[in-house]
Amino acid sequence: MVSEELLTEVVDCASKASGISGSAKDGLEVVMENEYFTVLLINSVQTLKEALDVMREEFYPHESICMGVKIGVDLQESEAKQRDKNQVSGEQGVLELEILTLETTKDGISLVAVEKTTNKVAGAAFNKIQKPCGAGEKGFFEAFRDEHCQSISAIALIDSMIEVDSRFDVFEHYKVLSAMEVMFLATRPSFQRRGVGTLLMKASFEAARRRGVPLVCALMTSLYTQRIARTVGMEELSEVQHEELTFLGESIAVRTGIHKSTILVAKRIECV
């Protein structure tokens, strides 16, 4: 599990990046709310812990690409023989993706939706500020994969993100020098079908506007998140069929069920 010391370090970085004064456990900033939920920046240890719990409860077991590359699943011996890294443990893949979410949180624009009546975190959006790479420069995902990943499942998931991103240059298309990527979007099972994902996407637009980031983009990997993207007015830029993506020599489409493709979407933000 992630240490308390690391969590504190991450929320301190997030608070500084977001410009919030006070300690890591104070100064919660409301980004958006409706009758039932309040969306806050993740800048406290407790909200970060609950956001990580959301990822473990919902995202890793049920997100389509995670299923496609067997995140959290201990590989069989026959599969393990195909590995090019030493670590094949299912839990290792989850831990590496948690480190990825923590690195993302340091940007200070990741969010949680909190139910007003129970004060329980219902969902989370881990958002990352991305910039175009220079010649020969590694992008955020590529650098993280090379420096932090041993699990072939985590590597395969990150490679899928790199592959889809590589097919369309959002920076050139929109003529911008930065973009907020909604990297992971998840809702706790008990709160699904209550508009939490849509609220978190709208709040991500507002968080980008406050930070002066002119574009929000995301890779929508399921029918559900693709529906959210259309609801909030995001433009569909490119689509990659899951049958094109492979894990251990097999198309991930055999495990992604009804979710047949990943769509790159984006929305221009009018900054102050």
pLDDT in tens, 111-145: 999 999 999 999 999 999 999 988 888 999 999 99
268 pLDDT higher than 90:
yes
In the chain, domain spans = 4-17+26-268
Q: What is the pLDDT of residue 24?
A: 37
Indicate whether 85 pLDDT > 80.
no
pLDDT at 25 over 80: no
| Contact (Cβ atoms closer than 8 angstroms) between residue 245 and residue 256 | no
Convert the pLDDT of each residue in 219-254 to its tens digit.
999 999 999 999 999 999 999 999 999 998 899 999
Question: Has this prediction a pTM greater than 0.85?
Answer: yes
For all residues of the chain together, what is the average pLDDT?
Answer: 91
pLDDT attached to residue 243: 96
86 has a pLDDT exceeding 70:
no
Q: Would you say 201 and 208 are in contact if contact means Cβ atoms under 8 Å apart?
A: no
- In this prediction, residue 23 has a pLDDT band, given cuts at 50, 70 and 90, of very low
For the structural domain made of 4-17+26-268, what CATH number should be given?
3.40.630.30
User: What is the C-alpha to C-alpha distance for residues 136 and 247, in angstroms, rounded to an integer?
Assistant: 27
Alpha carbon of 265 to those of 137, 179, 181, 219, 235: distances in Å? Answer: 24, 12, 10, 6, 5
pLDDT digit string, tens, across residues 30-59: 999 999 999 999 989 999 999 999 999 999
Look up residue 107 and give its DSSP letter: T
